Amino acid sequence: MKKFLIFSLCCLLLTGRLDAQRRYDVAAYLYPAYVADDPRLRPFWPMGIGEWETVLTMQQRNPGHYWDRHPLWGYINEADPAVMEMEIDQATGHGINVFIFDWYWFDGRPFMETTLTNGFLKARNRDKMQFYLMWANHDVVNTWDTRISRLREKNVIWTGKIDRDEFEKICRRNIELFFKQPNYYKIDGKPVFMIYDVKNFIEGLGGVEQAADAVKWFRKEVKKAGFPGLDLQFTMWAPNLNYSGFDAGKAEKPEEALIRKVGFTSSSHYQFVHFLNVNDTYPAIVERAVAEWDKIDKAFSVPYYPHVSIGWDNSPRVRESAVVRDNTPENFEKALRAAKDYLDRHPDRHPLITVNSWNEWTETSYLQPDDLYGYGYLEAVRRVFGQ
């Protein structure tokens, strides 16, 4: 009888019928522009409250526009440790246990880092929440500045490309300052580091071979610091193999051949808009996203962690935008359950799901409560992952 009960329990676990006891890591991207203590933000948002200015002045700039939302928590300074303590309590209380910080580096120094260094890392309850970095190494153009964001030309203010010396400077600093933090997120003991713009990364370093050599060096430095290795995460977009020095035509799985050549070991998406037509209803978009996950499984052997975006509407920045419709908390909950089902079908994979996002207000994809749905999105996460 005892053997039968043990066998039955194993079967239940394998079929996912006891998934309520499985631990899921729900990681929300955190955009660090809602601060008052970073002087480098003033050229874009002169009021001194970061990109809250774009949210606050939307109706003033565009009277009568349909986009009219307001944060229930107010226009908070997320670089304030007391504010971040509240956010950590709210996130963890609703089933979100990881923040993925959008992390920037321009002109030889960090940019928009105070949300992390002054807010999160100084919060008294920071140990409740894990974190890791997504290096947002895209170019900065005039989109952030609403005074000129409608111009047809996209003027590059800062480039996200860096050379080998700058890359090594970044890596050494991140290992010491962030990877060694006790609550830095790891998979199998390996710190996770995500790169947003792989094309910029490769071109800045001089090509695929040079990028691969730089990643080998990075991995060795991580091991020198006492970790078993590095989990280098690839931000999945629509397929793009146009990289100098890489002949995709000779590979059986060309996309995977590229990322394996460079040294990536896992992947996820950042936003539905990067690979789907989002000018549609949310259920239809999610159906296509789930189908994309299955395509990725066939095209890649490196682990893919399912991604769910809450929505998309870039109107606060550019006034006219593709718009996700019907992205209610109830439909968002269904998307989360689809991601959970995907993880349960991959029991050998680390149970990580990424969500866009904690606070992307000007892209209309945020978990924070507003005057439209209240705490609806957070409650949806709690219903699915809050056990």
10 in a domain, yes or no? no
Phi, psi torsion values for 26, nearest 5 degrees: -100, 110
17 in a domain, yes or no? no
Pick from 351, 350, 345, 346: nearest CA to 385: 351
Burial 40-55 (b: 16+ CB within 10 A, else e): ebeebbeeebbbbbbb
* Whole-number pLDDT of residue 152: 66
3 in a domain, yes or no? no
226 in a domain, yes or no? yes
Number of domains in the chain: 1
Both structure tokens of 351: 């149970």
15 in a domain, yes or no? no
* Whole-number pLDDT of residue 12: 46
Q: How do the pLDDT tens digits run along the chain, 387 residues long? A: 445 444 444 544 444 444 446 799 999 999 999 999 999 999 999 999 999 999 999 999 999 999 999 999 999 999 999 999 999 999 999 999 999 999 999 999 999 999 999 999 999 999 999 999 999 999 998 888 888 877 766 788 899 999 999 999 999 999 999 999 999 999 999 999 999 999 999 999 999 999 999 999 999 999 999 999 999 999 999 765 555 555 545 555 677 888 999 999 999 999 999 999 999 999 999 999 999 999 999 889 899 999 999 999 999 998 889 999 999 999 999 999 999 999 999 999 999 999 999 999 999 999 999 999 999 999 999 999 986
* Whole-number pLDDT of residue 255: 78
Helix then strand then coil, in percent of the chain rounded to 5, is 40, 15, 40
Rg (Cα) of the chain, in Å, rounded? Answer: 21
What is the pTM assigned to this prediction? 0.92
User: How buried is residue 247: exposed, middle or buried, by Cβ count under 10 Å (0-12/13-18/19+)?
Assistant: exposed
249 in a domain, yes or no? yes
Cβ contacts of residue 190 below 8 Å, gap of 6+? 222, 227, 228, 229, 230, 231
Q: Which domain holds residue 180?
A: 22-385
Helices 254-262 and 208-224: angle between axes, nearest 10 degrees: 50
* Whole-number pLDDT of residue 81: 98
* Whole-number pLDDT of residue 9: 47
146 in a domain, yes or no? yes
* Whole-number pLDDT of residue 155: 81
The Cα–Cα gap between 173 and 93 comes to 32
16 in a domain, yes or no? no
Pick from 116, 94, 97: nearest CA to 37: 116
Q: What is the CATH number of the domain that holds 249?
A: 3.20.20.80
